[in-house]
Amino acid sequence: MIRKGLALSFITLVAMAEETPIITHSEFSYINTKGNTNTTSLAFEGAAKKQWDKNIFRLNANMYKSTDSGKTSKDKWSSEFNYDYQICPRTSLNYLIGYKEDRFSGFDYQFYSGPGMGVKVIDSPAHNLDVQANILYGEDKPEYLPRDSYFSSKLGAIYHWQIQENLKFIQEATYRINLEDTQQNFFYSKTAIENKINSTLSMGVSYKIDYVNTPPPPSVRTDRTFLVSLIIDY
């Protein structure tokens, strides 16, 4: 139900917008090994953005699945929807909806939603830094435990450095903390290099860290992923 609600809200809001282009960014990674080990890994990361007048819609989705000798070893996906209303060229009012499932993190699902503000701290041809802060109300469902609803705050930043015409460095980081139990917090980081092949295709290398300070046992705190991806921008 939550998945359908997220998808429907994005489709409805975009349909209300004028005929402006949707900018998309997709990353695909696939690994298959056979012999002494038989593993298959598939990863996808996608983003879509639509803007008209002072309104901006942004949708991000991540998926990673892996099997080892036919047995699932990783199964996770997450998505975030952002609506921004620009009050000036560098500042926006924001509303965020986020949802995540990860079979091996100790949570059946995590959901959060709430208002915030975004600021474009740096905006130049070579360097861009965007910062966003939100106050959220959310719900977690740990495995084998009751649902937990609470207020939290989230701070995120995205930095882009155009090193050369065809070479870009990207650093993303978000930190979310339970305001009712500060021992419970979540950190996500993505460090990436993208090398442009032509106007549409790029090759990328990324390193992701997904950290939970107090994961439900027997899950560990830190999940790390290294990916080589084919990137499509259109």
The pLDDT of residue 5 is above 60: no
Would you give the DSSP letter of residue 18?
Answer: -
The string of pLDDT tens digits covering residues 175-230 is: 999 999 998 899 999 999 999 999 999 999 999 999 988 877 777 788 889 999 99
Residue 34 belongs to domain with CATH number: 2.40.160.40
CB atoms within 10 A of CB 39: 14
Angstrom distance (rounded) from CA 38 to CA 68: 6
CA distance 161 to 167: 9
Question: What is the pLDDT at residue 104?
Answer: 78
Residue 7: in which H helix or E strand, if any?
A: helix 2-16
Q: Cα–Cα distance between 204 and 9 in angstroms, integer?
A: 31
User: What per-residue confidence (pLDDT) applies to 99?
Assistant: 96
pLDDT mean over 90-104: 93
pTM of the model: 0.86
Q: What is the 3-state secondary structure (H, E, C) of 207-234?
A: EEEEEECCCCCCCCCEEEEEEEEEEEEC
Residue 144 has pLDDT above 90, yes or no: no
Which carries the bigger pLDDT value, residue 67 or residue 17? 67
pLDDT for 217:
73
How confident is the model over 17-38, as pLDDT tens digits? 556 788 999 999 998 888 767 7
Is pLDDT at 161 greater than 50 in this prediction?
yes
Q: How confident is the model at residue 11 (pLDDT cuts 50, 70, 90)?
A: low
Query: Which structural domain range is residue 51 located in?
Result: 2-232
Q: Which of 131, 139, 137, 203 is nearest to 166 (CA)?
A: 203
Tally of domains within the chain: 1
SS3 content of the chain, % helix, strand, coil (to 5): 5, 70, 20
What are the φ and ψ backbone dihedral angles of 103, each rounded to 5 degrees?
-60, -25
